Structure 1
Amino acid sequence: MTHSRTPGHSVGRPTPITAATVAQRPSGMPIHRYGRYEAVDIPDRTWPDNRITVAPRWLSTDLRDGNQALIDPMSPARKREMFDLLVRMGYKEIEVGFPSSGQTDFDFVRSIIEEDAIPEDVTISVLTQAREELIERTVESLRGAHRATVHLYNATAPVFRRVVFRGSRDQVKQIAVDGTRLVVEYAEKILDDRTAFGYQYSPEIFTDTELDFALEVCEGVMDVWQPEEGREIILNLPATVERSTPSTHADRFEWMSRHLSRREHVCLSVHPHNDRGTAVAAAELAIMAGADRIEGCLFGQGERTGNVDLVTLGMNLFSQGVDPQIDFSQIDEIRRTAEYCNQMEIHPRHPYAGDLVYTAFSGSHQDAIKKGFEAMEARAAEQGKAVDDVEWEVPYLPIDPKDVGRSYEAVIRVNSQSGKGGIAYVLKNDHNLDLPRRMQIEFSRTIQAKTDAEGGEVTPAQIWSVFQDEYLPTDDNQWGRISLRSAQTSTTTEGTDALTVEAVVDGAEVVLTGSGNGPLAAFFEALGAIDVDVRLLDYSEHTLSEGAAAQAAAYIECAIDGKVLWGVGIDANIVRASLKAVVSAVNRARR
């Protein structure tokens, strides 16, 4: 015996892949222009061992940081729509604008105060730079508010000191100290005892500011504000531009939290942006490292790549069994409102809210989801509980879509990558048809042929249309050699079943009779009169609904003329459903 060989190749084991064979090449990009971010020397860090067990305080800055990043900033009506949404969701701290930046923001702040649109348990916040005329205008906008915070900021990073301000560390610190003093003075001058008043300070560009200097500036600000019991100060440490890994960001927060004096009277706030794509992780790790509050926007709106996404953060907590203390139960309403207010669409794969985030196209994923739902139903029955009351455990779905107001309709969608599980799920979910496993395989081939021929997605309506055309001839779409008209059964004295069937066969009305051990055996004998040889391989049935008008479905696997085929029958009478299933299989064999 001889073996043919490809020239230059020997017969033997395949060559193994090694690190050397997949080694990457230098990119040629100008990496020399960028320096490495400085790590924090904190060898005894404790944050990695911490867990988030309660929700942090939240502040929405959609109306300020989010709005200023829009191509078309919100109109007053859109601002009010956003504000009302945030209140309904449960946000208790809302940054509502930058009133010294222009008349539009000033007028909006005045409108929600004068129209009594702010619930008494909601604190509004307004931003200002550290200039006297701007601080005065900012405090003036708050006259008559129930609860309000002035948020003052100035940039502290070396590049700003050197390039923008051309000032020393002492000069930059003095801007923050003097600004804080002016806030106190104007609050005492303009506001009265009707207003509960708070103060927030941000060393802007904290991520690029030396830690010792950030601490020094914050301490100088606290010396003016004098935080004490019942008089907290909010120190916000913004990642104005995200510059490091989330772990390094957490190290910076743990360092600040350890070194701040009067820590028990400080609300330490984190304000991540998403320039490196890790804002959510940065916020979560900062909370583990000692932060008390998170500032962000719905769906990550904001400058450049956006602020941290409050929806993802809140739902991450929810998915771990921690109450976010914000209501996301109507996620589509929240999304629609945000899209209207921001005039920007939410990406279909945006976590928790996108159109496709609870959707599986992959066949193996669909099969696992289908089995997960079935296991949940079985576990609920064993425990005597409703399915909604048992612990959620479905593969590929981190939460129950129903918990955020979604239906299961879009969970499984079918395309060329889908398998039997997804198709079976659609039929069960939409039409209560629980196909036997081998029938799932048979029908999936039909759908696969359609997707291979036409491409794209097959909708549930199209799946149902194909299923009817393949298994269930209707009055509007008759096909096949045999059409069942009526059937009558009786039991003989010998215990066998006698069957009389009125049918249309090849266009002619006929009466077929047969007997056997059960209606199916009797029908198989009757079909012999028209030269149809049927052998039963498998049978299953189930009800489709409850009540007097309930229908049943029957599934029959038959060997017919050398072919193995499934048939389906649906009828209010289970015997007729079984006979229809046989007719379905016979007609498919002759198709």
Structure 2
Amino acid sequence: MKNHRKYAREYFVPPVQSFNWTRKEHITEAPMWCSVDLRDGNQALIVPMSLEEKLEYFQLLVGIGFKEIEVGFPAASDTEYAFLRALIENDLVPDDVTIQVLTQSRDHIIEKTFEALTGAKKAIVHLYNSTSRAQREQVFRKSREEIIEVAVSGAELVRSCAAQTVGNFQFQYSPESFTGTEMDFALEICNRVLDVWRPSADNKVIINLPATVSMSMPHVYASQIEYMSEHLNDRDDVVLSVHPHNDRGTGVADAELAVLAGAQRVEGTLFGNGERTGNVDVVTLALNLFSHGVDPRLNLENIPVIRAKHERLTNMKVGQRHPYAGELVFTAFSGSHQDAIAKGMKWREEGERPYWSVPYLLIDPKDIGREYEGDIIRINSQSGKGGIGYILEQHYGFQLPAQLREELGYLVKGVSDRLHKELMPREVYGIFAEAFVNLDSPIEFVDCTLIRQDNYQTAVTVRIDGEVKELIATGNGRLDAISNAMSHNLGMSYANLEYTEHALSVGSESQAVSYIAITDETGRKFWGCGIDADIMTSSIKALFSAVNRMSQYAEPFRLNDRGETAVGLERVISGSGVPSTK
């Protein structure tokens, strides 16, 4: 791109190297979480939430398990002020939850903020002013010392107002635009605020270091955090917090590396809603921890419900490929992926497995309220035999032989490719049933009798083009006798019967399913499937299905220009043409 030279580095590395965090392999415990959905997330909405919507969203956050919730900027609007008062006056904040409010370091805003906080059982007062070189030079046109004075005077007023207001207050300071601030200056201004507030073990101060604009690669942010963590005054009595935005698409990485570098607390939003490209996504962060065997200390066991409520209250949509929560995030269309997942799930069913390790699935979807059916394997033109077989087994109980599964796979993929659509499980079953199950044309099985002497003798009644015929033959087994009756009397030549069967269901309504393959003189193999309450009858129906497919000797799913097929795909898709398995 021709304008790339107009951009230069606008972030600052620490004056001394801080890379101790690189020696840590992973995060071993969850940080403290603070939801900022109701402030940062809300102010990023085209239409901010109403008072009633904010109250409902607050209850959602409490139910998930957030212990710190930033509820707004009470001096910014009547709705924000009224919401805070409603929480306090109606005693809607649980005893183990601390609310947080944001205030600029300006006298009248601080004073109105404490007016709104009167009577709060536990509240964090979040004071901020911008410190970056760009803001100092372009917006405020103030020196470093003048910017420090803004922070210090604000901190002094916060301390004074807190002493005069009924309530229980903890203090938090953010050097807004931290990522664009020289590290020595960021450290100086934070320490000057700490000198005013004098944190203690019983009254810790939160220093929040926001990536107000994400400017660097994540490792630089981590080094900035580690430098601040190692040089802040009263470090044991300081809670070091981060608030990453997602301008470079690295919000989650910034937060994870910041925690490795010493951050103890993370401010973020559900699904990353926030200004510009969004805030750090707490759902992704928490479930990343979960995937490493770390308790995230948030209840995300029903992601579909959380996502639906978030979307309804914010009018924001969660992307289909959003980690963990997206509609398609656990879905595999690729044939090789489907095959590996299906085999991995089968492997888990075969014995006790202490750890989750299914290929292509980072976590068990059921742990967050997602379902295997409809979530994991879905069928389109990219799908393979493994996925198609998995769908039929999970939804309908069929355990197709490998070669039949492969042949069906090509049929299903061809239909999806021509129609340019995903196929639902009932449509996959419809294609299978129309092509292979209980076929009765051109030869319809009517009845048979079997007598065993030295071998089996049979009389098979069939209907061909409306005419009923009786076919007589013998064989060394019941199915062999029936097969001989067809081949000898109808002039059909085939060999190498391959046979397998299984129960399709259990109980009084149980059905048996049989699969038979026959091979014609050219070596071409034809599969048939039979379903019946009687196992012998299901075998006979499977044989007739195979013979009928051979007699037709045409691709049963050759599509015409209208996207129809020789066996009526439109009826299959609508469900009206799906044969009964009863």
Is TM (by shorter chain) over 0.5? yes
CA drift of 1:36 comes to 6.1
| Deviation at residue 539 of structure 1 after TM alignment | 1.9
Q: Does 1:416 align with 2:381?
A: yes
What's the offset of the Cα at 1:55? 0.8
How far apart in 1 are the matches of 2:163 and 2:425? 65
- Give the residue type in structure 2 aligned to 1:530: L
1:428, 1:314 → 2: CA distance?
34
Q: Name the structure 1 match of 2:89.
A: 114
Residue 327 (structure 1) shift: 1.2
Look up the match of 1:443.
408
* Alignment partner of 1:566 is 2:566: no
Measured at CA, do residues 44 and 156 of structure 1 come closer, stay the same or move farther in structure 2, by a change above 3 Å?
A: closer
Matched, 1:337 2:309: yes
* Aligned equivalent of 1:270: 242
Q: Which amino acid aligns with 1:94?
A: I
1:196 to 141, 157, 168: 168
Alignment-mate amino acid for residue 472 of structure 1: V
SS at match of 2:173: strand
Aligned-partner residue type, residue 337 of structure 2: H
SS of residue matched to 2:120? coil
Aligned with residue 393 of structure 1, among 333, 354, 357: 357
Greater CA drift, 536-545 or 357-366: 536-545
- Take 2:111 and 2:322, find their aligned partners in 1: how far apart are those partners? 41
1:13 is matched with: none
CA distance in 2, matches of 1:145, 1:90: 20
| Comparing 455-464 and 499-508, the one that deviates more | 499-508
Q: Distance in 2 between matches of 1:399 and 1:174?
A: 50
Where structure 2 has 5 or more consecutive residues not aligned to the other structure, the ranges are 553-582
Amino acid at match of 2:429: W
Given the alignment, which residue of 504, 508, 528 partners 2:463? Answer: 504
Alpha-carbon distance in 1 for matches of 2:191, 2:449: 93
Separation of aligned partners in 2, 1:516 and 1:372 = 43
Deviations 1:166-197 (A, max 9, x none): 22212211211111121121122121xxx432
C-alpha displacement at 1:469, in angstroms? 0.9
CA distance in 2 between counterparts of 1:44 and 1:308 reads 23
Aligned counterpart, 2:102: 127
Give runs of aligned pairs for residues 304-453 of structure 1, distance below 5 A: 304-378=276-350, 380=351, 383=352, 390-408=354-372, 409-453=374-418
| Alignment partners' CA distance in 2, 1:158 and 1:264 | 29
Aligned to 1:69: 44
Say whether the 8 Å CA contact 1:560–1:586 is kept in structure 2: no
Equivalent-residue separation in structure 1 for 2:86 and 2:447 (angstroms): 74
Shift of 1:272: 0.4
2-structure distance, mates of 1:198, 1:426 = 55
Quote the residue 2:6 is aligned against: 32
Q: 1:242 to 1:44 in 2, by over 3 A?
A: closer
1:106 alignment partner, SS class: helix
After superposition, the CA RMSD in angstroms is: 1.8
What does residue 575 of structure 2 align with? none
Match of 2:507 among 520, 536, 547: 547
Cα 1:315–1:500 change in 2 (3 A) is farther
Q: 1:104 to 1:512 in 2, by over 3 A?
A: same
Q: Output the CA distance in 1 between the equivalents of 2:157 and 2:448.
A: 94
CA drift at 1:449 = 2.5
SS in 2 for 1:421: helix
Q: Is the 8 A contact 1:97 1:126 kept in 2?
A: yes
**Structure 2 residue aligned with 1:533, among 493, 500, 506?**
493
Closer, same or farther: CA 149–582 of 1 in aligned 2, 3 Å: same
Once the two structures are TM-superposed, the CA of residue 354 in structure 1 deviates from its matched residue by 0.9
Listed as ranges, the matches of 1:293-304 within 5 Å are 293-304=265-276
1:46 is matched by which residue type in structure 2? Answer: N
Structure 1 residues 37 and 100: alpha-carbon distance in aligned structure 2, compared to 1, 3 A threshold: closer
Tell me the equivalent position of 2:556: none
Are the counterparts in 1 of residues 17 and 223 from structure 2 also a CA contact under 8 Å? Answer: no
8 Å CA contact 2:15, 2:183 repeated in 1? no
The answer for the alignment partner of 1:14 in structure 2 is none
* Identity over aligned pairs, percent: 47
CA distance in 1 between partners of 2:246 and 2:112 (Å): 31
1:286 corresponds to: 258
Rounded to whole Å, the distance in 1 between the matches of 2:226 and 2:81 is 37
Alignment-derived partner of residue 590 in structure 1: 551
How far apart in 2 are the matches of 1:103 and 1:229? 36
Note closer, same or farther for the CA distance 1:106–1:488 as it changes in structure 2 (3 Å cut). farther
Report the secondary structure of 1:355's partner residue: coil
Does the aligned pair in 1 maintain the 2:15–2:184 contact within 8 Å?
no
Output the amino acid matched with 1:587: N
- Partners of 1:479 and 1:565 in 2: CA distance: 15
Work out the CA distance in 2 between the residues paired with 1:517 and 1:176. 97
- How many residues are matched? 548
Matched-pair contact (CA < 8 Å) for 2:11–2:182: no
The one-letter amino acid of 2:483's match is F
Decide whether the 8 Å contact of 1:331 with 1:404 is kept in 2: yes
Work out the CA distance in 1 between the residues paired with 2:459 and 2:370.
50
Q: Given the alignment, which residue of 433, 436, 442 partners 1:468? A: 433
Q: Is the 1:524–1:534 contact (alpha carbons within 8 Å) kept by the matching residues of 2?
A: no
Deviation at 1:501, TM superposition (A): 3.8
Q: Distance in 2 between matches of 1:442 and 1:298?
A: 45
Give the unaligned 5+ runs of structure 1: 1-26, 384-388
Distance in 1 between the 2:512 and 2:371 partners? 25
Residue number in structure 1 paired with 2:146: 171
Taking the TM superposition and a 5 Å limit, the aligned residue runs for 1:163-242 are 163-191=138-166, 195-242=167-214
1:219 offset after TM fit, Å? 1.1
Q: Is the 8 A contact 1:42 1:251 kept in 2?
A: no
Q: Counterpart amino acid of 1:589?
A: M
**Residues 72/431 of structure 1: CA separation in 2 closer, same or farther (3 Å cut):** same
CA contact (8 A) 1:78 1:340 kept: no
What is the alpha-carbon distance in structure 2 between the residues aligned to residue 579 and residue 534 of structure 1?
16
Q: Which residue of 2 aligns with 1:521?
A: 480
TM-score, with structure 1 as normaliser: 0.89
Output the amino acid matched with 2:464.
V
| Counterpart-to-counterpart distance in 2, 1:365 and 1:590 | 36
TM-score w.r.t. structure 2 length?
0.90
Cα-to-partner distance string for 1:517-560 (whole Å, 9 max, x where unaligned): 33221221221323333423422222222223222221111114
> Aligned equivalents of 2:271 and 2:314: distance in 1?
11
Q: Which moved more, 1:135-144 or 1:250-259?
A: 135-144
Partner of 1:23: none
Q: For residues 429-449 of structure 1, what are the alpha-carbon distances to aligned partners after superposition, in whole Å with 9 as ceiling and x for unaligned?
A: 211111111111111121232
- The answer on whether the counterparts of 2:10 and 2:215 sit within 8 Å (CA) in structure 1 is no
